[in-house]
Structure formats: C-alpha cells, structure tokens
Amino acid sequence: MNTPVSALGPARDPVRTSVVGLGWAAKSIWLPRLRQHPSFAVSSVVDPNTAAHAEIAQDRTGTRLLTDVAELDRSNTDLAVVAVPNHLHSTVASRILRMGIPVFLEKPVCLNSAEAEQLAAAEQAGGATLLAGSAARYRSDVRMLRQVITEDLGELRHIELSWVRARGVPDAGGWFTQRQFAGGGALVDLGWHLLDTVGPIIGPVGFDQAVGTVSDDFVNDRTSAAAWREDAPKQDASDGDVEDTARGFLITEDGVSVAIRASWASHEPYDVTRIRVDGSHGSATLTCTFGFSPNRRKGSQLVRVRDGVEIDVPLPEEEIGAEYLQQLDELPTLLADPASQGRTVDEVRRTIAVIERIYRSARRARIGARSTRAARTVPHSTLLTTEDHHA
C-alpha cells in the first residue's frame, strides 16, 4: 500500500509517538503514515507479543520495542496511538492517560457508556488529552459535502447514512466477530465512522428517539470475509455472535431525522458509502467508499439537487487512505490546544449512547419476534381463552 507523504512541514519539534498494539490497524494504517509524516517520530511500539516486534522494521528514530504501557515514560513520549483490540481500548487508554500521556484512540473509542466515563475520569486525573480516530470527517469529499450543506441546503430535515460492503467481515472467526471482545459488529465498527460524520453536520445535539434492528446472515460465512485485510485464517475459531448488518432510525432533539445502515456484507457487487442530506432548500448526496477495500467504484460523486435540477459538485481526486494522513496533519495543533481536553469525551458519550440505544431496540425486536414465532407453534388447544373453556 503506497502511503502519501504530507505536504505539511513540522511546525514544531516532532511529536514523539508510541504505537500501542501491533495489529492490522497499527501496521497497515498508523505506523507507515507516522513514520513518513514530518511532524511525528515513532519513539516506541508496545505489544506484549514479542513475536510482533520482529515484524517492525527499525527506522532512523531508533524505535524502542516495549511489552507493556507501564514502560512508557512521560518525559520522552508526547502521544500514544492506541490500536489494541476493542475490549482493551478504554482500559489501556485510561492507564496511559493517568500517566499524563496524551492518547489518540482508535475507534470504537469505547464499548459502552461506563467505559466513556472511565476515559473521562482518566483524562481528568492525568491532565492529559484524549483524541480519537475520526478519519471519515477528514475526507475531502466529506468536507465538501459539509460546505454544500452550510451554503445551499437551508434548514436540515433528514440525513441518510450507509456504508455497505459486498464482502468485508473483518477478521472473520477472530475477536472482531466475538461480542465479548468487539462489543458488537458492523454498527460498532462501520457505524461509528458514519455517526462520526453526523456531528459536524447537526452539531452537538442529542437524540430524542432511536430504534434499530440487526441481522447476521453473512457473519459466519467465510466467503464473506474481508480478504483484502489479509487476516490469518482461524483454524479453531468460534462462530461469530455479532451482527453483520445494523439499521437504525434516529430523531434529534430539534426534529432532524437520521437513518443509518452499516453492513459488513451484503448482496451488492461493490462496497459503497452514501451520505444524503435533505434540507429546506435542496438536497445533496455523496457517493463514495470509506476504508481500504479495493472492491470499490472509482472516485467519489457529490450531487446537489434543487427544484428538480441536479448539479455535480467537483471533487478533488484523493488517494485511498488520505484521510488518515490529513487527520495526522491536525493532531499537533489539537494536542497543543487546551480546549481539546474533554471535547472528545463529550462526542464519544453521544456516539456510544446512540449505539447502545440501537442495540437495545434491536434486542427488544428480536425477543418480540421469538415470542411471536413461539406463539405460532403452540397447539391451538393451549390458546383457548377462559371463555372457550367454559363454553
């Protein structure tokens, strides 16, 4: 994977960065970009699996190989990029924050509201800043969509968000598809990115209503795995117990409706991401593909519609994954800004609260469906009413 180099030069001394967790995200996304970005120096990597260290090439910065975050030193670490498995996100990040070291935490930032509060307490106790992976909002096409919304659409009415993969169950059979380790399926994974694009559009508002449903038609079908991730095959893997598809419908406190769909796999031929925004003066639809899957249509398209007239909005060409580099461009400034502290936690609280509400609604729907099916199988005689027995 070719990683573009940022055009920005270092505005200050390079940020001495430790990468914690040497899984796919660290090796494929963060390490290559951090090492090529002029504003960062990878001072250490942390992983308890020493075999993973062997895969990390040494570079000019003399990267130290550590096995525990306790070995990190605030005096020579300006930032920790945490990319451990989902169920360890809040625990590991909280440990580092309490050491006074700022943390950039991969999504999902947490798996429930209790973990969000754990992170908030750790950030406050250590006086360090928590930042979060928010790559989608740094895409050039998403930024252009926000500009069109602001300038042309008037009052917001409705937003539709979808990220639907043809085949893309990550780490099929591994921890990614185990609820106890991942916290959920496509909603926690892809849905977090989609919800992250909503915040800059609607602002810091809560949701008055939230309902949802989930399904798992593909999660245990090995042909639906994300082959492009090159995950090692799981010989003795347990069946996945998370959803491969989640659908939700939300209504904000000020009446804007939001429909969301996140699918790891589907019957579609290509992986497609769509964001449609309806306003009082018109609508705009962005069609693109988030993420790294090669099974995508070429380029992005942004169409604005008003009074029956469609207008294609020009978009710059952008390399796959450029949004991650663009987020790195802004990290040093965010780290230096005292106002950054607490801001991420506030956003995380809203995001995880919505995810929890969709999952609760989906569980209620499944319980109701099971009860209905069970009632249909009960012999007719057991369904007689009291009046029937006395007849």
CATH code for 15-133?
3.40.50.720
SS (H, E, C) the chain: CCCCCCCCCCCCCCEEEEEECCCHHHHHHHHHHHHHCCCEEEEEEECCCHHHHCCCCCCCCCCEEECCHHHCCCCCCCEEEECCCHHHHHHHHHHHHHCCCCEEECCCCCCCHHHHHHHHHHHHHHCCCEEECCHHHHCHHHHHHHHHHHHHCCCEEEEEEEEECCECECCCCCHHHCHHHHCCCHHHHHHHHHHHHHHHHHCCCCEEEEEEEEECCCCCCHHHECHHHCCCCCCCCCCCCCCCEEEEEEEECCCCEEEEEEECECCCCCEEEEEEEEECCCEEEEEECCCCCCCECCCCEEEEEECCEEEEECCCCCCCCHHHHHHHHHHHHHHHCHHHCCHHHHHHHHHHHHHHHHHHHHHHHHHHHHHHHHHHHCCHHHHCCHHHHHC
Q: What residue spans define the domains of the chain?
A: 15-133, 136-324
Question: Structure tokens of 175?
Answer: 């921890």
Whether pTM > 0.85 for this model: the answer is yes
Q: List the chain pLDDT tens, one digit each, 391 residues.
A: 455 555 444 457 899 999 999 999 999 999 999 999 999 999 999 999 888 887 776 555 578 999 999 999 999 999 999 999 999 999 999 999 999 999 999 999 999 999 999 999 999 999 999 999 999 999 999 999 999 999 999 999 999 999 999 999 998 778 899 999 999 999 999 999 999 999 999 988 889 999 999 999 999 998 899 877 766 555 544 589 999 999 999 999 999 999 999 999 999 999 999 999 999 999 999 999 999 999 999 999 999 999 999 999 999 999 999 999 999 999 999 999 999 999 999 999 999 999 999 999 999 977 766 656 666 655 554 444 433 433 3
The number of C-alpha atoms within 13 Å of 94 and in the hemisphere containing its C-beta is: 16
15 — phi, psi (to 5°)? -75, 115
Architecture of the domain whose range is 136-324: 2-Layer Sandwich (3.30)
